[in-house]
């Protein structure tokens, strides 16, 4: 059984930061690079079939680790603001994804240009979400560690469904993408583009200038915005689970295979998908489809080829 998405030409792949640095990983660079090779394998097959591809990625674990390095070295070198850490992870992770993709393409006998675009995403500095942190970043902690970090560093910590804790930061909604036109020109000319890393570097407009602001934009929301701006037909969200589930983590959990935008919105409005995890992915899916997108696929990199056959994954249609 085929999923039907192969009839489309323009795809956006949104790689979760947790697909590159998993919860139980030690976090070394080599480990992340190996995970990246796994994450891009299915994308190479579509490129070989002549599809136009743009890749976005999250950076939750990586930007959190960058913040830890900044804080621990603050006695010796100047610190970096959060938005600069986002820019730093764009370069690091864009390099990893780009190199893994080029090497996989070479192995497949495909010679195609690949480019990483450092991407700024415009937000409203008065967005209410600036005062309501929801975006998890950095490592996973036990309760005792989380309590201590909250006291000693002033971090806001949140308990996750699996019982672990993570630091959370502000995550305003994306409103525009500074480099969108350049990205579209690259895609149209056949370049495989890596963009909007970590949701993009958050900036705001002041007069005729862009200024960085401390936040981490949700990469799925930014991906949906980019997809609409560059004419993407299929948005593929690659994450740590094979499908979207109702009652996730409970005995009653049930995988969703195919669903309409109307049905998924009812579940979303009913509180089935928590903020900071699956919630933004569903919200981004709805936004993308309402903006003219044809289909959203949510699955994991490990089973993507099965998802292309319709055997697994969650397909959301208008």
pTM: 0.91
Out of 16, 42, 219, 228, the active site residue is 219
Active site residue 219: yes
How far, in Å, CA of 190 to CA of 116, rounded? 14
Smallest Cα–Cα separation from 11: which of 76, 63, 55? 55
Out of 42, 265, 281, 293, the active site residue is 281
SS3 247: coil
Are the CB atoms for 180 and 187 separated by under 8 Å?
A: no
Out of 16, 17, 94, 197, the active site residue is 17
Q: Which two tokens stand for residue 259?
A: 């669903």
- The partner residues of 297 in beta bridges, in order of sequence, read 236, 315
Out of 18, 35, 59, 65, the active site residue is 18
How far, in Å, CA of 183 to CA of 191, rounded? 9
Active site residue 281: yes
User: Which parts of the chain are beta strand (E)?
Assistant: 10-15, 52-57, 114-116, 120-122, 135-141, 157-159, 165-169, 176-177, 192-194, 201-206, 209-212, 234-238, 244-246, 254-256, 258-260, 295-299, 314-317
List the chain pLDDT tens, one digit each, 318 residues.
456 899 999 999 999 877 788 777 888 999 999 999 988 988 999 999 999 999 999 988 888 889 889 888 988 999 899 999 999 999 999 999 999 999 999 999 999 999 999 999 999 999 999 998 988 887 888 999 999 988 987 889 999 878 899 888 899 999 999 999 999 999 999 999 999 999 999 999 999 999 999 999 999 999 999 999 999 999 999 988 899 999 887 888 899 999 999 999 999 999 888 775 788 899 999 999 999 999 999 999 889 989 988 899 999 999
DSSP line for 77-135: S----HHHHHHHHHHHHHHHHHHHHHHHHHHTT----EEE---EEE--TT-GGGGS--E
The CATH number that applies at residue 136 is 3.40.1160.10
Number of domains in the chain: 1
Cα 17-210-182 angle, rounded to 5 deg: 65
Out of 94, 98, 135, 199, the active site residue is 135
Active site residue 206: no
Number of C-beta neighbours around residue 84 at 10 A: 15
pLDDT at 4: 83
Q: Could you tell me how far CA 127 lies from the centroid of its own chain?
A: 21
How far, in Å, CA of 34 to CA of 233, rounded? 29
How far, in Å, CA of 269 to CA of 250, rounded? 19
pLDDT at 2: 57
Domain that holds residue 105: 5-317
Active site residue 135: yes
């Amino acid at each position: 059984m085929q999923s039907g998405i192969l009839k489309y030409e323009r795809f956006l792949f949104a790689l979760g930061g947790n697909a590159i640095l998993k919860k139980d990983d030690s976090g070394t660079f080599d480990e992340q690079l190996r995970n990246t090779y796994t994450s891009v394998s299915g994308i190479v097959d579509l490129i070989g079939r002549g599809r136009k591809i743009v890749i976005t990625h999250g950076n939750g674990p990586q930007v959190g680790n960058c913040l830890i390095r900044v804080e621990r070295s603050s006695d010796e070198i100047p610190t970096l603001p959060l938005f600069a850490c986002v820019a730093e992870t764009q370069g690091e992770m864009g390099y990893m994804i780009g190199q893994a993709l080029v090497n996989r393409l070479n192995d497949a006998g495909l010679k195609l240009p690949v480019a990483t675009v450092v991407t700024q995403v415009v937000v409203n500095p008065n967005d209410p979400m600036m005062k309501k942190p929801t975006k998890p970043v950095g490592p996973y902690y036990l309760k005792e560690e989380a309590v201590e970090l909250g006291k000693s560093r002033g971090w806001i910590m949140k308990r996750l469904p699996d019982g672990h804790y993570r630091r959370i930061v502000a995550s305003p909604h994306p409103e525009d993408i500074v480099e969108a036109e350049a990205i579209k020109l690259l895609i149209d000319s056949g370049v495989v583009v890596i963009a909007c890393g970590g949701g993009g570097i958050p900036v705001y407009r002041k007069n005729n200038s862009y200024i960085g602001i401390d936040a981490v934009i949700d990469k799925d929301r930014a991906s949906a915005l980019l997809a609409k701006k560059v004419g993407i037909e299929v948005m593929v969200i690659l994450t740590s689970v094979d499908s979207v589930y109702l009652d996730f983590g409970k005995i009653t959990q049930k995988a969703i295979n195919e669903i309409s935008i109307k049905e998924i919105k009812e579940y979303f409005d009913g509180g089935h998908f928590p903020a900071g995890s699956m919630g933004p992915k569903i919200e981004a899916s709805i936004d993308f489809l309402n903006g003219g997108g044809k289909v959203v696929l949510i699955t994991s990199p490990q089973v993507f080829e099965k998802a292309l056959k319709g055997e697994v994954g969650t397909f959301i249609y208008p």
